[in-house]
């Protein structure tokens, strides 16, 4: 489900069962993340599916990438794998005006 930035962030903050999932590449991840995010690179293909399968399907996932395309696809895959709640951040981190944590290299 695609939702706006404000709704996505508000839901994630109010949701005690929330997991923020970044599906960008490691290089993109190193440019900064939305606070609290975990990462699984969408471009890993089957590796992405294998790692997602290890996640707790009872959690609510707030998924983002650079522009919203990969994370939209990731949400679809997650739904097919039995995840009931996966929210895609419309516009991705490139349009994000919320908090970002810079990572040290």
Q: Which neighbouring-strand residues pair with 60?
A: 18
Residue 23 belongs to a domain with what CATH number? 3.40.250.10
Distance (Å, rounded) from C-alpha 61 to C-alpha 38? 10
Which residues span the domain enclosing 10? 2-95
Structure token pair of residue 3: 């939702």
Closest CA to 69 of 91, 84, 86, 85: 91
Asked if residue 103 belongs to a domain, the reply is: no
In the block, tokens 């951040």 appear at 89
- Could you say which DSSP state residue 36 is in? T
Asked if residue 84 belongs to a domain, the reply is: yes
Total of domains in the chain:
1
Distance (Å, rounded) from C-alpha 12 to C-alpha 1? 14
Local mean pLDDT, 10-residue blocks, the chain (105 residues): 94 97 96 96 98 97 98 98 97 95 77
Asked if residue 100 belongs to a domain, the reply is: no
Structure token pair of residue 51: 């790692």
Q: Residue 104: what pLDDT? A: 65
Determine which one of 12, 34, 63, 65 is catalytic. Answer: 65
75 has catalytic annotation: no
This prediction's pTM: 0.95
Q: Residue 103: what pLDDT? A: 79
């Amino acid at each position: 489900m695609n939702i706006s930035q404000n709704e996505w962030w508000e839901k994630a903050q109010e949701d005690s069962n929330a997991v923020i999932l970044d599906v960008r590449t490691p290089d993109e991840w190193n440019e900064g993340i939305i606070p609290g995010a975990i990462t699984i690179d969408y471009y890993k293909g089957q590796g992405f599916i294998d790692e997602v399968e290890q996640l707790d399907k009872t959690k609510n996932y707030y998924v983002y990438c650079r522009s919203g395309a990969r994370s939209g696809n990731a949400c679809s895959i997650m739904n097919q794998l039995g995840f009931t709640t996966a929210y895609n951040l419309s516009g991705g981190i490139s349009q994000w005006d919320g908090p970002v944590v810079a990572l040290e290299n």
